[in-house]
Structure formats: C-alpha cells, structure tokens
Amino acid sequence: MELPDALSLPRPLILVGTRPEIVKMAPIVRLLSEAKKDFLFVHTGQHYDYHMSKQFLEELRLPKPDIGFPVRARSPDEQLALLIRRIGAILRSERISIVLVEGDTNSVLAGALASNKLGIPIGHIEAGLRSYDLRMPEEHNRRIVDHLSAYLFAPTKVSKLNLKKEAVWGKIYVTGNTVIDACVQHMRYAERRSRIAKSVPFRNFALATIHRAENVDDPKVLKEFVDAFTESPIEIVLPLHPRTNKQLKRHGLWKKLVRSRNVEILPPVGYFDFLVLMKRCSLILTDSGGVVEEATAPSIRKKVVILRISTERPEAVESGFARVAGCNKRAILRGIAWAEEKEAGLPAKSPFGSGHSAQRIVEVMTREGAL
C-alpha cells in the first residue's frame, strides 16, 4: 500500500468501508469537493465485493479514494486488528485535523480506535443510535465510537437524548441523517438510469432484504423468513446479499425459495436500482436499519416491516412508518397485513431530516476549525 506524502496543512480524513457508509458519506464528500476543500478519502475495503462497494462509488460519481486496501473475509477480531494497523499507518503518515466516520461497522470502530490512540479528533456521523440488543456487534461498535468522539452528529433528538443519558464527553449536534440527503439528491437520476423494472415480473410487490448475522446465520430464523416470503399475500422481490445466499444453500432452504412463484430473487443490486425498487414497491420488509431510514425519505415514503426483535430507529416506529415484527412467520405475516392497510396514512416529513444534514455537518466542522 502506497501512502501519499504528508501535506503541510492538516486536513480531514473521510473514512468509508461498506455500502451504507459510502451512500451516507456521499453528500458530504460531494459538498467538500464542490467547495474545493482538501480532504483525504480512504476506503477500507470492508465490503470488497464489487456490487457491495465499488459499484456504489462509481454510480454516485464520487472521487476515487486516495487510499484503499482489501480486508477480505476474516474473523471479526482479525479484521479489526488489520484495520486498526492500516488506518494507523495512514494517520501517522498524514497531518489530519479530524477523522470523520459514519455508522457502526468494524471500519468505523477501527478508525475511531486508531484516531483516539494517536490523539486525533473523531467526528461520528449517525451518533447516538441504540437498539439495546447486545447480540448485535454494531451495538457494541456504535457505543464505543460515541464515547471516543469529540463531535457527535446525532440524526434526531432521540439520539441526542441517548448520548446525554450516557454522559458522552464530546459535543452533540442534531443534524438529521445524511441518508435522506442521498435519497433526495439521487432519486431522479436513479429513475433515468435504472433498468431494474425489467427484472421484476410483479406489478404489486413487497421489497425484502435480509442480511444481519443474527438472522441469516441462524437456520431457524432463516427458515421463518423463507416460509413467510413464500406464503406472503403479496409477491416478494428479494435482492440477495452474498451472505444470505450462502446461508440459504448451506441450510437447504435455497430450493424452496427459488421454486416459489411468490418470490423473485435478484442478485445484489446497485444503489440506483435499489432506490427505484423502494419507490415502486408497495411495502418493505427488512432487517437493515439504513433501509428503514431510506423508506421515510420524501421520494419513497413506504411502510416498513422490521424483521428483527429490536430497532435503533424508534423514530420510524413512533411516526408510523415502521413496525417491529420480529423473526417468526406468523408475526411477519401480521406485519405485512398492517403494512397493506390503506386507512393509516404516512407523515409527509421524515423523522430523520429534510435533506440538509450534510450541510449542517460541514458547517459545524468549519466552525470548529476542522476544515
């Protein structure tokens, strides 16, 4: 891995590693690029599959990362150790004013730990989310990062309250979530570019995504999902995460799913295709937190059945956009029935912001002298 020569003036480092991080950082990267601000763009390669990462960089027309390195499939502890070592090497070779991270992945945790040990301030976008489900590695990651961060960009007042209760030492700013910015900025372009509609044989369908380790690595839970999808009263379009694909075949569930006339399986789709699927579907079933947020964007506004026993986005539930269904077939089918009810309308506004979150974050960093 080649590292650029150190610059005379400190500059921010923007760290991404997975598809959601790329999407949510895109509005900030774009703002800084348009303003001719100097920054170091680093991609850890945590999502090393093309469809899970590089494709999103290209579709979003983001600059090529200044530094990137593949992590490949490793055990979580080995992956974290490697990420800390490699991010630390970059930080020691550069003059960095702030390390900006987003979310709760191993890349985010590694970036925060390396920065903390080297005395470099951390800015955490999407700070303060809590599911209180300690089975989730992300719950551990986000808590640690919040307590290491100098600047905490909380998407909502609920997130800010979580941080206040935990007495974090950093400065807290309620900014909204940049995922709404991304949806607002990209939907029209996505509709012009995407051809995904040709792959969907259904006029009325539910969009489903499942990928979380605590779900798809558990054969009992995975079977409940398959049973629910194949028995759903509305047809299902299912873009398959590589992890889910592997586990379905491993546990003998693949044939039932692929033979079902009720389910259309798609390979992993790009960001623009996914935006179009969200807009065209009737409802969404997902165990992804980010998808729950995207569903509330003004250009999408869909009900979401959350395929988990908890959520770190309670604002979506409280506003009427989402319902936590759990992971068994009967509960999921009840959730689908709720989502298909026509009587209950959806709020006009997203609880996660109006599409100006990136601007607020950049303004804070400018005031704090990090830009």
The pLDDT value given to residue 75:
85
User: What is the β-pairing status of strands 11-16 and 96-102?
Assistant: parallel
Residues 142 and 222 in one domain: no
Whether residue 348 is contained in a domain is answered as: no
Residues 155 and 204 in one domain: no
Whether residue 27 is contained in a domain is answered as: yes
Task: Locate 140 and state its tokens.
Answer: 């551990």
How far apart (Å, rounded) are the C-alpha atoms in residues 152 and 288?
A: 22
| Total tally of structural domains belonging to the chain | 2
How far apart (Å, rounded) are the C-alpha atoms in residues 13 and 38?
A: 9
Residues 279 and 317 in one domain: yes
Residues 305 and 160 in one domain: no
Maximum alpha-carbon separation in the chain: 62
Q: Catalytic positions, please?
A: 211
Residues 103 and 198 in one domain: no
The pLDDT value given to residue 228:
98
Q: How far is CA 4 from CA 41, 250, 261, 329, in A?
A: 12, 43, 53, 53
Coil vs helix vs strand at 115: helix
The pLDDT value given to residue 128:
98
Residues 160 and 307 in one domain: no
Residues 363 and 332 in one domain: no
How far apart (Å, rounded) are the C-alpha atoms in residues 19 and 27?
A: 14
Whether residue 244 is contained in a domain is answered as: yes
Instruction: Provide the CATH number for the domain around residue 280.
Output: 3.40.50.2000
Find out whether 101 and 170 touch, Cβ atoms under 8 Å.
Answer: no
The pLDDT value given to residue 73:
60
Residues 157 and 125 in one domain: yes
Coil vs helix vs strand at 184: helix
The pLDDT value given to residue 158:
97
Residues 129 and 34 in one domain: yes
Residues 43 and 158 in one domain: yes
Mention every residue, 6+ apart, whose C-beta is less than 8 A from residue 179: 20, 23, 24, 290, 293, 294, 297, 352
Coil vs helix vs strand at 320: coil
Whether residue 347 is contained in a domain is answered as: no
Whether residue 346 is contained in a domain is answered as: no
Task: Locate 266 and state its tokens.
Answer: 């798609």
Task: Locate 137 and state its tokens.
Answer: 């590695």
Whether residue 71 is contained in a domain is answered as: yes
Whether residue 334 is contained in a domain is answered as: yes
Find out whether 139 and 312 touch, Cβ atoms under 8 Å.
Answer: yes
pLDDT in tens, the chain (371 residues): 555 554 458 999 999 998 889 999 999 999 999 999 999 999 998 765 655 566 777 888 898 899 988 776 678 899 899 999 999 999 999 999 999 999 999 999 999 999 999 999 999 999 999 999 998 899 999 999 999 999 999 999 999 999 999 999 999 999 999 999 999 999 999 999 999 999 999 999 999 999 998 999 999 999 999 999 999 999 999 999 888 999 999 999 999 999 999 999 999 898 999 999 999 999 999 999 999 999 999 999 999 999 999 999 999 999 999 999 999 999 999 999 999 987 567 998 999 999 999 999 999 999 998 88
Find out whether 280 and 302 touch, Cβ atoms under 8 Å.
Answer: no
Which residue range is the domain that position 316 belongs to? 187-339
**pTM score, whole prediction:** 0.91
Give one DSSP letter per residue of 214-259, joined into a string. HHHTSHHHHHHHHHHHHH-SSEEEEEPPHHHHHHHHHTT-HHHHHH
Residues 114 and 17 in one domain: yes
How far apart (Å, rounded) are the C-alpha atoms in residues 77 and 110?
A: 11
Residues 235 and 328 in one domain: yes
Whether residue 182 is contained in a domain is answered as: no
